[in-house]
Every structure is written in C-alpha cells, then in structure tokens.
Amino acid sequence: MSATYDLTLDFIARNSVTPADAGCQEVIAQRLAPLGFVCETIERGGIVNLWARRGTTAPLLVFAGHTDVVPTGPLERWTSPPFAPTVRDGKLYGRGAADMKTSLAGFVVAIEEFVAAHPDHAGSIALLITADEEGPSIDGTVAVVDALEARGETLDYCIVGEPTSVGALGDMIKNGRRGSLSGKLTVRGVQGHVAYPHLVRNPVHMVSAALARLVAERWDEGNEFFPPTSFQISNIHAGTGATNVVPGECTVDFNFRFSTESTPDGLKARVAAILRDCGIGDDCSIAWTLGGSPFITGRGALCNAITGAIKAETGLDAELSTTGGTSDGRFIARICPEVVEFGPVNASIHKIDEHVEVAAIEPLKNIYRRTLETLLAR
C-alpha cells in the first residue's frame, strides 16, 4: 500500500522480543547508508544499539526508538499469530504494531522522502535505535547517550516514537515525563507470640502511623506541565504465615512519581523526617532506587514544529502531556534540551492482538516528515 506500510510489515514479522533485535537495525542501516548516513553499532552488555547520523552541523534532529517488543503472552489467545502481520477491519495486527514498529518505519520513510526533496538540508539528522527499551534499559539508549556524551556530541531536538495518541492519531504528544523514585522500607521489630504483647514489638503497628502520614502528605503542587507529585504503596509484607506469631520485620515497597517541583534528595529527606516524627527512625532502613529524573520541553521550536505538523496533517490540536510512565526520553534529555514523544494510538500496546489503524500509518510518517521540513528545510 505504501513504503511505510511495507516496512512496518517487515518489522512486525521479525520476532524481536526484548532484548532481541532480529535484524531490524540492520534493515534500517541498509536503507539509510545510501542517503549518506554514517551508521555505527554501539554495543554494551550484549545489547545492540544503532546510531546513524547524516551531517555534522547544528541543529541536530534525532529520531529515537526501540526495535524490541514485549513478550506475546499466550499464543492461543491471539486471533492471528503475533509475528505474522495481519489486516482485519482496517487494523494491522501484530506484536509491536503500536509499540513501536510503525513509528520506526515512519522515521525511515520520512527521512528518505525528506532527503530526496532536500538533499542539502540545514543541520543534521540522526536515528538512535535500541533493543533494550522493554527490558532493564541499562545497556540501550543510555549506553548510546553515554558514548555521545563522552565524545562531546550534543543533540538539539529529539522525537521519541512512543505511542502517545489516545483516541486518534495526533491528539496527544508527551513533552516531558515525571521522575520515578522507589523505596523499600524495612521496619525491624521483635518477633514473638501474639499472646505475650509485652515481649514483642510489632513492626506492622510501628509503621502504621508513618504510612498514614506518608499517604496524606502533600509533596508539591505540580506546575503548568506536571500534576502534583504522587506517593503510592505497591507492596507490604510481614509475618511467617502463622496467625499466632507477631512478625519481626515488615517491608513496604513504595514509589514517587515526581514533578520538577521536587527532587530525589528532597523527597528522601522528607520521608526520613516523617519516620523520625513517628518514632521509628532508628528502627528502619530504606533502599532507594531512582528510576529516572523528570524532564520537560517547553513551548519552543520542537513543540511548535510537531504540533504544527499534526495540525496540518490531521486537523487536530495536539495536547501537551506529561502523564504515563517513564521512557527513554529521560536518558536523552541529559544531552538534548528539547525532547518530545509522539506516535500511534496506545490503547492496545502490550496487549493480546496489539494493532494500529492502517489509515494512520501514512499520516504518522507525514507528520515526522513535516517536522523535518519545518526544522531543517532550507
């Protein structure tokens, strides 16, 4: 039906369950090299990443994405095989259709069309493609960013092809993401028989008041782009399984999704203060994990270019949003002042019978091309 559609089929047919790439990056490199792209494989921890760049001058516009997909789940629940792309009722089905092989195909064909029309375009174009986004994400995009940072390369604009649309292609882009800070709180008591309360210290009782305080705390008020920072408890564990034993230890897993109005160190200090106020500061410890810092791209050249492209192609006024989980944009923001995410409707991602609307494939590519034209056409 189109070059974008054909390339999307090729990508979906490749069984690239994380951390496999299944040759997707090789296909991309083979298509870009004849256009003058210097294609470089950056490997770390057994993960293969592609950095492909055309040009050496600023501004540099980067398209970023991932070739790996999540596992399929039970094959018998799929209406058609997950790696046999199939069209039914105007929808293209297959694992990775929405997240994010259609975006990858759109990147490549948009670049091909743009370079053909503007061989002497301003600045530079690059692709940053990983096979470690759906996995631990420790040797993927962050490895490429580390390598670029070490040699002094910086980015000016970056579009991450994550599926951000909600009801229709172009209704939402992500112009930032909240940070993620997780903690594992361990409260130490004294184990014993429930019939002898004077001989025990119940860590569940000890932590209860602190948890109520933490849940009720107003961490910040958010800002123009971010909702207030949220605190959520995901797991609580204590006890031996017996009903007549007071546990000696209680563990609580919790997570902050935080805005740019808060910092990891600030949140840690406030949690510690609440635990001290509740009298258990000396009886507990916390193991902290920073999943990612928040980033934001204000209304500027990149946001204006992509929202203008969406309006021209679909007629929609895209909403700027920072909702949802983390993405590889958190790594790229270290070396790039303007990062946005934009891609297909995300309703079916990671689900059985993942799909995209066939009618949205070509407009998605066109939006990427129009953005290139706005930012780099002479």
Catalytic residues: 68, 133
**Are the C-beta atoms of 189 and 199 separated by less than 8 Å?**
no
Per DSSP, which regions of the chain are E strands? 38-44, 47-54, 60-66, 86-88, 91-93, 124-130, 157-160, 172-174, 176-177, 179-188, 192-193, 230-238, 245-246, 249-258, 284-292, 295-296, 319-321, 338-341, 355-357
Distance CA 134, CA 95 (A): 13
Q: Does residue 350 have a known ligand-binding role?
A: yes
User: Could you give the CA distance from residue 148 to residue 161 in angstroms, rounded to a whole number?
Assistant: 20
Does 162 count as an annotated binding residue? yes
The strand order across the sheet containing 60-66 reads 38-44, 47-54, 124-130, 60-66, 157-160, 338-341, 172-174, 319-321
Peptide bond between residue 19 and the one before it cis (omega within 30 degrees of 0): yes
b/e burial code for range 177-194 (CB count within 10 A of at least 16 → b): bbbbbbbebebebebbee
59 contacts 74 by C-beta, under 8 angstroms: no
Q: Report whether 134 belongs to an annotated binding site.
A: yes
Q: Are 108 and 6 in contact (CB under 8 A)?
A: no
Ordered DSSP codes for 175-215: SEE-EEEEEEEEEE-B-EETT-GGG-B-HHHHHHHHHHHHH
Q: Rounded to the nearest 10 degrees, how much is the dihedral formed by the CA atoms of 161, 361, 35, 127?
A: 10
373 is in an annotated binding site: no
Structure tokens at 275: 């635990």
Task: State how far the Cα of 27 lies from the Cα of 43, in Å rounded to an integer.
Answer: 17
- Using alpha carbons only, give the angle 91, 92, 94 rounded to the nearest 5 degrees: 135
Residue ranges of the binding site: 66, 99, 134, 162, 350
> Where is the binding site for Zn(2+), in residues?
66, 99, 134, 162, 350
